[in-house]
Every structure is written in C-alpha cells, then in structure tokens.
Structure 1
C-alpha cells in the first residue's frame, strides 16, 4: 500500500502562510503609529502578541516549501542552486529595497536594519548545504539547533577576553551573546535558531506527504504536544521565578511574553505548536476567506515587498489627513519610529488602515498569482 501522496502544492501550507502574512501587517502598521510593541493594556499586548506567529510559521514553512520543491526537482544540484541564489537574493533585498521602503532614505551611516529577509536568506543558503542529507536527518539537526541554541551563546566565552569584542562584531549576527555588534546596525533576526526552524520544516515535509488521515493525525499529535509542553514548561518556569521572579504582571502575560530576539525554544513551541495543529483544519477550509488567504500564501515574497512601502505611504497619508503633516521625519530609522505622543494613532485607526491595506494587497496578490500561473516559462518568477 502506498502511504504517500504526490508532492503537489498543499492548500494547508499556503492558507496558513497567507494567514500569518495578513497578521504581519498589523505589527508593521503599528510601527508607524507610535503604539508600543506590547504593554500592560490587554488590547495593546494582544495586538503585538498575535503577530508573534508570523516569523516562526513563515520560516518553518519555507523549509517545507524547499522539501516539496526538491520533490518536483529531483536534480539535487538544481535544488542547491535555487536555495543558494534565492537566499542571496533575499539578503540583497533586505539591505537595499526593504531598507529603503521602511525608512525612505539611503543613509546607511545612520542606520542598517537586519530583518527577516536577511535571516531567511542566510538560512536558505545554509539549507543549500543541508539538503544534501536525508530529510529526516535535516529535521533532526533542525530540532537539535532549536533545543540546544543556548550553546551558541556560550561559544564566545571560550575565547580570550581581548578577542571577544572583535569576535562579537561577527558572532552577534549568528546568535545574540551579549557582545557588542557593529555600530549603527540593528540586528533583530540572528541565524540561530532560525536555520533550525527552517531545517525542522524541511524534515516536516516527510509528514505532509503521507496519506491524508495519517498526516492529519500526526499533525494534531505534534501540534497539541508542543502546546502542552509550552503550557507545562512555561508555567513551571514562572512558578520557579524564571526568568524574572520580580515580574508582577498577571500570569497569562508572563506565560505568553516569551523571548523573540533571539527566539527561545518556548517562543517557538508557543507559535509553531498551534500552527501545526491547525494543518488538518486548514486542509478542509473552504469559502471566500480560505481562497483569499491561499492566494496570498502562494506569492509571499511579492506580498512582503509590496506591503512595506504601502504601509509607509498609508502612514504619511493618514498623518497628513489628520494633522496636515506627513511626519516622514519620524520614520528615518523605521521600523523603530519616533512618533511624538501627541501624534500617536488610536488602535481603532491602526486596525482600519490594516484592513484597507490588506484589501489592496490581496487584489495585487491575486493579479500576480494569476500572472505567475499564466507564465510558467518565465523562470525568474519562481524567485518572486
């Protein structure tokens, strides 16, 4: 009996990826509003928290997409070449177009932002080497990196103190170790543990090619198991006073406020567990919302590159309509904006702009998805 299905594109992956791409817009609109990234007020806290799913789920499914690309492209050299060149493209885009879109300036002496495309790009280039191994081996390596990531933080301490500072300028790109990185460089997304997340997603492709009933059962087991591990382990840490015994916030805040930079194991359990558990339901999803999310999930890079300048321009327009000024000077080092308190947006306005921008992004994504499907002969479209 054959226990696998043909390596076709899975709706569940596209739908869930589309969902987190939509959620991502909430946080990136927030960057231009003056609203903080979380806080004691429930509405602000959960406005930020719900977007925590974006980077882990996207990185994980990028690994899964690489697995299925390899199934359709059995020539390993072509898979390796594709991953390396696409990863290099993402790094270049991060430092050029994306940097400009965020801030609308090209003054690199003032500020350089190391964001998610940088992390995805270097992780893909690393995957170009790992895919020479069996998918199960790659998945195990990925899980090991996630679980043992703190060992990367100890490595710099093995060097003499005189060497730690120059070493830190490089190592802070790999894993945050408390060393001094390059000046005027904001490093949000380090390589570890994210390359482990992508590698785990690549190995996860073995499960997604199983026959549907078995696939759904295993996804539920993994997803619910990860959620349970997070709740039990996170609750135990809080009871023991880890990481901060003096934190007086309500229990739910302390449990959900896990470290993202760099992404802790608890953070990844909290975000990837629900996503994996939702796969069986995403496979069966129907209706207009499922179609919208699936369309967006099929063209993630196009959507990503478009959403930042759209949000930035929306912010300038809203500021002008409200105050008669664009406020561009507040966004010179966006996404770390400096909006004066008197010009801060309300959460209602934030969500209104989010909704309008998502509608525009969907219309553009639908057009591009159709264009891409109609022109399979244009190989460059596989990169966008």
Structure 2
C-alpha cells in the first residue's frame, strides 16, 4: 500500500532516489496470498483431476488435495479487502474527486484486462468462445462502485459494507426456492451463471460482485482504522477484531443455519467432518467464507506483519506488484502446461481443440500429474518470476509515470 510523500514530484520518467514508502505488514500479507494463489492455478493446469473433479468433493478428495485447494481460499478475499484498504491510503493524499476518478477509471481498466488479457492467458483461445468473469473483474466492478460511494459519509460507507457482508446470505433462501432459474442480471449480483451471447460465444459469471463489493467497502473502512492507531494499540485492536471474526465464524458455522448456503455434515471420519466444517462457499463468497479468511488475515497483520528477515523480504516483493505478478503467472503456467502437453505426444492441433470443448486449450481433462509435480511446478513459477517482480517493484518505487498506478 503506497503512501506518497508530500513533496512535489516530477511527472517525467527520471529515476528518483526515493518516491514512496510502503506499509510492510500489508505488503507481506498480500505477497503471501499471491504466492499461494499460484498454487491453485498450477493445480488447475497440472493435476490429474484439475479439470475433471472438485478437490473439495468429500466423496473423492484426499486430505492433501483438499488442503491444497482450501488454503488458497485466503487469496481472493484478502486481495479484495486490501484493495479497499489501498483505496483509503490513496484517499489520504487525494481529494474525493481525484480518488473517485482514479477508482472508476482503474475499475474499468481491470474489467477490460479480465475480458481481454486474463481470459486469453487462461484459455489461449483467440476466438474468446467463453468470456469468464473472475477475480480481476470482481475487483474492477467493486472499485467502480467504491469510486461512487466514497462521496457518502464514512459511517454510511461502513454501514453499507456491513449490511452487504452480513446480510447478503439472506438471498440464499430466495435461491433455494428459485434454482436454477436466474436472470443474467441476478447472476451478476449473487449467483454463478453461464449464458449464451452470440454465435458460439458465451459468458461465464464466476464471481458475482455483490459480496466482493461489500468486502472492498469494509477494506476501505479498515484503512481508516489502520491509520488511526499505531504500535501496541494497533496490534491490540487487530488482534481483537481478528479473534472476534474467527469466533463469529465458529459460532455461526456450529449453528449451521445462516451464513453459508452449504451446511456442514458428519462425514466418514472426524478429519473429513472437520473438512466439511471449514468448507465454505466461495462463488459468491459467503459470510462464513469471508469470516474464515479475513479473521486470520487481521491476526497475520497484527503479529506476523512486523517480522523482517530474508524470507519476509522475498515474500514482500510479490505483495508490492500483485497485479503485474498475477498477469505474468497465468501466462507462464499455461505456457508450461502447453509445453508438457506437447511433450506427451499430443499435436498442436489437438491442443487447440480444448476451448471449443469448454476447457482451456492444451488441456485434456483427466490427464495430468500428481500433487508432487504440482508443488514442484508451483515453486518453479514463483521463483522464476521473482527477478522480474523485484525489478518492477524497484521501478515503481523510483518512478512516477501515471500509468504505473494502473499496474
């Protein structure tokens, strides 16, 4: 999260000795979730069941596979929440008009990136047969809405964010009575959907925006809270909030009535029953899903965020350039997957048939590797992107071109 010093800054590309400082604890958390995010995407492209089974399916999963998928639940909500926090930090040096313009324009930019760049990196489909709206789309549309609501009094923004996050699962009762007949408009709001557009083009809404928007609003409000305290008082407050949110998750999940559309059930053994308990709904993120992820994230900021060593400096690099890393890692993962696809004896023409069958190109469902290979490829992807992320992080901190704030 960048806070620029008050001194006048040249708009040229001449390197500056030191342009900005960072909130290290937040960069560290964001870097951590960006690294584990890559694990989930590598699993999608490389694991033998990546495109053929759900790793959270209690009937077919194994503990290692379940946990490999489950740990990555922390990525999207933390990223969206901290995007809101970044909005507040921007507000500390921008007027409402300037911040509103920036959030709205960057939001539209992110939506375009999702449609054009991220979809291609995921599918390698030049025809864009399926246009998917995933994480970057949800952040973009939420930024647009945040850019509009920042004109409201701060207490009203907080109340609106809480109302959405705490109350949106009331729609679960409506959905239980009306499934699966949802309009595209409702799917944008609160339910995944697949809709034909024109010709052989279709729209896949994976990230309905309403809960994500509420979470970003709360992240924005958290930014004010974060900057209002320092040192021990901040740690004490974050610990109180983190523990409180975790206890809310445990209480609501135990009651098993509200907060998630999928109630937990007793499984074949205690371990899988525990898995069922923590297996909350991501699409869209339920109240319990957000409690399960944001509570520990706040504890991480409070207790682990102040650590300074070689490992934390390594992780922080990814947290300083998350969008840049996000785009690059998808291309690298898919290129590696395509190369291994060809190395297994498949032809290029075979690989280009995947998208027409509803999958990514150079993917055959049911064909892939063990988790050991997944973890090896994941480490290779993360380490290989470090030098370019380090370079870009240094460049952003010593230059002030306007377009850098969009990357």
If the TM-score is normalised by the length of the shorter chain, which range does it land in?
Answer: 0.7 to 0.9
Q: Which residue of 2 aligns with 1:306?
A: 328
User: How does 1:74-223 map onto structure 2 within 5 Å?
Assistant: 75-108=95-128, 110-152=129-171, 168-176=183-191, 181-182=195-196, 184-209=202-227, 210-223=229-242
Rounded to whole Å, the distance in 1 between the matches of 2:249 and 2:85 is 23
1:10 aligns with 2:34: no
Rounded to whole Å, the distance in 2 between the matches of 1:67 and 1:373 is 19
Rounded to whole Å, the distance in 1 between the matches of 2:297 and 2:284 is 20
Quickly say closer, same or farther: Cα 1:49–1:331, change in 2 above 3 A: farther
Where do 5+ consecutive residues of structure 1 fail to align?
1-5
Quickly say closer, same or farther: Cα 1:330–1:270, change in 2 above 3 A: farther
Check conservation: 1:11, 1:282, Cα contact below 8 A.
no
C-alpha offsets along residues 212-255 of structure 1, whole Å, 9 cap, x if unaligned? 211111111111111122122212318xx984587635321111
Give the TM-score normalised by the residue count of structure 2. Answer: 0.83
Where do 5+ consecutive residues of structure 2 fail to align?
1-5, 7-19
> In angstroms, what is the RMSD of aligned CA positions?
2.9
Check conservation: 2:31, 2:317, Cα contact below 8 A.
yes
Check conservation: 1:172, 1:181, Cα contact below 8 A.
no
Bigger drift between 196-205 and 312-321 goes to: 312-321
User: How does 1:185-334 map onto structure 2 within 5 Å?
Assistant: 185-209=203-227, 210-237=229-256, 243=262, 248-249=267-268, 250-323=272-345, 328-329=351-352, 331-332=354-355, 333-334=358-359
Rounded to whole Å, the distance in 2 between the matches of 1:331 and 1:310 is 18
Rounded to whole Å, the distance in 2 between the matches of 1:336 and 1:228 is 43
Give the TM-score normalised by the residue count of structure 1. Answer: 0.87
Quickly say closer, same or farther: Cα 1:325–1:375, change in 2 above 3 A: same
1:339 aligns with 2:364: yes
Q: Which residue of 2 aligns with 1:3?
A: none
Rounded to whole Å, the distance in 2 between the matches of 1:232 and 1:153 is 19
Quickly say closer, same or farther: Cα 1:334–1:360, change in 2 above 3 A: farther
Rounded to whole Å, the distance in 2 between the matches of 1:206 and 1:245 is 36
Check conservation: 1:114, 1:187, Cα contact below 8 A.
yes
Q: Secondary structure in 1 aligned to 2:132?
A: strand
Deviation, 1:138, is 1.7
1:68 aligns with 2:92: no
Deviation, 1:136, is 3.9
Quickly say closer, same or farther: Cα 1:244–1:135, change in 2 above 3 A: closer
Deviation, 1:182, is 4.8
Q: Which residue of 2 aligns with 1:45?
A: 66
Rounded to whole Å, the distance in 2 between the matches of 1:65 and 1:200 is 12
Q: Which residue of 1 aligns with 2:11?
A: none
Quickly say closer, same or farther: Cα 1:41–1:211, change in 2 above 3 A: same
C-alpha offsets along residues 54-90 of structure 1, whole Å, 9 cap, x if unaligned? 01000000000000011022x2111000000000000
Rounded to whole Å, the distance in 1 between the matches of 2:361 and 2:295 is 29
Paired residues, what number? 367
Check conservation: 1:28, 1:335, Cα contact below 8 A.
no
Rounded to whole Å, the distance in 1 between the matches of 2:145 and 2:277 is 32
Quickly say closer, same or farther: Cα 1:370–1:145, change in 2 above 3 A: same
User: How does 1:345-360 map onto structure 2 within 5 Å?
Assistant: 345-360=369-384
Rounded to whole Å, the distance in 1 between the matches of 2:336 and 2:65 is 21
Check conservation: 1:18, 1:293, Cα contact below 8 A.
yes
Q: Which residue of 1 aligns with 2:10?
A: none
Rounded to whole Å, the distance in 1 between the matches of 2:231 and 2:264 is 46
C-alpha offsets along residues 268-287 of structure 1, whole Å, 9 cap, x if unaligned? 11111100111112332111
Q: Which residue of 1 aligns with 2:77?
A: 56
Quickly say closer, same or farther: Cα 1:41–1:138, change in 2 above 3 A: same
Rounded to whole Å, the distance in 2 between the matches of 1:102 and 1:72 is 36
Rounded to whole Å, the distance in 2 between the matches of 1:179 and 1:27 is 22
Rounded to whole Å, the distance in 2 between the matches of 1:369 and 1:139 is 32
Quickly say closer, same or farther: Cα 1:371–1:334, change in 2 above 3 A: farther
Rounded to whole Å, the distance in 2 between the matches of 1:294 and 1:180 is 37
Rounded to whole Å, the distance in 2 between the matches of 1:336 and 1:32 is 10
